[in-house]
């Protein structure tokens, strides 16, 4: 399977490495508008400069038919890149969020539906051994029905670049992973939600880097999320800390370790599932199997649009102070 990667700096490194590790996917070419990034990646990955183009149309004109596009551009460019690929009949694996606005995401989904071409999203937190183990434990019925979920996330990364200029960097660029995991774990989406965001005085982000969200899901489960991307210490893992209060006990995720306690029982550590691939390696192989063998992807746009709707409803709640009802 031959792919074009659009955007090779920043998060593009993860995809450069994933494709280089793959036994079934290889690069046909690249798109990068920043010459300094291109030069640096040529040196770092021994890329052929002749295979790096300034735009996706230019790359497609030069390379002809390819099997897929990996879209690793900033969110505001996802729509243009994706529509170009879909119009050319080429499947797309795009970085999250699906798009920088809900309108863009809906337009991308509409184009995928119109063309019948695969559009799938890199929600890599779904495919970790940790997430798949939590999903299995909740599904096996030992703990009974889930009643409430509490999620806590605290990190203090200094990225620079577009993330530090976003109006809601935590919600749109990071917490989207945790919100998508909530949908994945609970097999449901929020019916109503309320949210508040703020930016501490010491924050290096331009937009609100902290948030608290209360969500009532369509299946009756209530979830609370508290997070910050400008924490000054005692950080959580990227996966966050989780507590599921269930009918017959509790499931806890602390420091990427899963513990359960059934009603009246002792705490029991849960061993993570043994999985062949995680993260970008899983998503890339999942994309390959979908394109070449017709297998489903873990986060197709048709499902992921509900995560995007959830994220922008949370942004709306933060901006308006209102309780938001979702369809």
Q: What is the mean pLDDT of the chain?
A: 97
Query: Could you read off the pLDDT of 102-130 as tens digits, one per residue?
Result: 999 999 999 999 999 999 999 999 999 99
Residues 137 and 102 in one domain: no
Contacts of 123 (CB under 8 A, 6+ apart): 96, 177, 180, 298, 299, 304, 307
Q: Is 282 part of any domain?
A: no
Once rounded to an integer, what is the mean pLDDT over residues 82-108? 97
Residue tagged 């071409």 (tokens): 117
Please state the domain count of the chain. 2
Query: Cα–Cα distance between 104 and 77 in angstroms, integer?
Result: 10
Residue 51's CB: how many other CB atoms inside 10 A?
16
pTM above 0.85, yes or no: yes
What dihedral do alpha carbons 166, 112, 61, 35 form, nearest 10°?
10
| pLDDT at residue 39 in the model | 98
State pLDDT tens for residues 149-206.
999 999 999 988 888 888 999 999 999 999 999 999 999 999 999 999 999 999 999 9
**pLDDT for residue 239:** 97
Residue ranges making up the domain that contains 64: 2-122
Whether 292 is in a domain gets the answer: no
Separation of alpha carbons 101 and 213, rounded Å: 20
Q: Is there a single domain that holds both residue 12 and residue 114?
A: yes
Give the model's pLDDT for residue 65: 86
Cβ atoms of 215 and 148 closer than 8 Å: no
Which of residues 122, 140, 163 is at a domain's end?
Answer: 122
133 with 97, same domain?
Answer: no
* pLDDT per residue as tens digits for the range 36-76: 999 999 999 999 999 999 999 999 999 988 999 999 999 99
Last residue of a domain, one of 69, 91, 122: 122
Q: Is the pLDDT of residue 327 over 90?
A: no
Of 104, 122, 140, which residue constitutes the final position of a domain? 122
Dihedral sign for Cα atoms in the order 28, 32, 35, 39:
negative
Identify the pLDDT of residue 166.
87
Same domain, 61 and 49: yes
Mean pLDDT of 89-114: 97
pLDDT, one tens digit per residue, over 193-207 is 999 999 999 999 999
Q: What is the mean pLDDT of residues 87-115?
A: 97
């Amino acid at each position: 399977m031959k792919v074009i990667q659009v955007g090779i700096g920043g998060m593009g490194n993860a995809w450069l490495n994933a494709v280089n590790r793959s036994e079934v996917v290889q690069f046909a070419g690249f798109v990068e508008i920043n010459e300094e990034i291109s030069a640096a990646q040529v040196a770092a990955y021994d890329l052929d400069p002749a295979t790096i183009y300034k735009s996706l149309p230019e790359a497609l004109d030069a390379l002809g038919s390819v099997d897929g596009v990996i879209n690793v551009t900033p969110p505001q460019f996802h729509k243009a890149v994706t529509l170009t690929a879909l119009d050319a009949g080429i499947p797309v694996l795009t970085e999250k969020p699906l798009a920088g606005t809900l309108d863009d995401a809906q337009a991308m989904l509409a184009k995928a539906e119109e063309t019948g071409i695969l559009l799938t999203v890199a929600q890599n937190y779904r495919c970790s051994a940790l997430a798949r183990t939590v999903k299995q434990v909740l599904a096996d019925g030992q703990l009974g029905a889930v009643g409430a979920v509490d999620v806590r996330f605290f990190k203090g990364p200094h990225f620079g670049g577009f993330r530090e200029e976003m109006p809601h960097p935590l919600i749109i660029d990071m917490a989207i992973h945790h919100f998508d995991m909530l949908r994945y774990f609970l097999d449901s989406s929020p019916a109503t939600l309320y949210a508040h965001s703020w930016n501490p005085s010491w924050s290096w982000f331009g937009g609100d880097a902290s948030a608290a969200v209360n969500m009532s899901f369509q299946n009756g489960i209530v979830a609370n999320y508290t997070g910050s991307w400008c924490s000054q210490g005692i950080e959580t893992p990227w996966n966050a800390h989780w507590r599921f209060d269930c009918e017959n006990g509790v499931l806890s995720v602390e420091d990427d370790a899963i513990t359960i306690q059934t009603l009246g029982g002792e705490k029991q550590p849960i061993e993570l599932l043994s999985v062949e691939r995680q993260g970008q390696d899983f998503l890339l192989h999942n994309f390959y199997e979908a394109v070449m063998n017709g297998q489903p992807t873990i986060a197709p746009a048709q499902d992921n649009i509900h995560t995007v709707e959830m994220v922008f409803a949370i942004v709306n709640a933060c901006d308006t102070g209102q309780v938001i009802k979702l369809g």
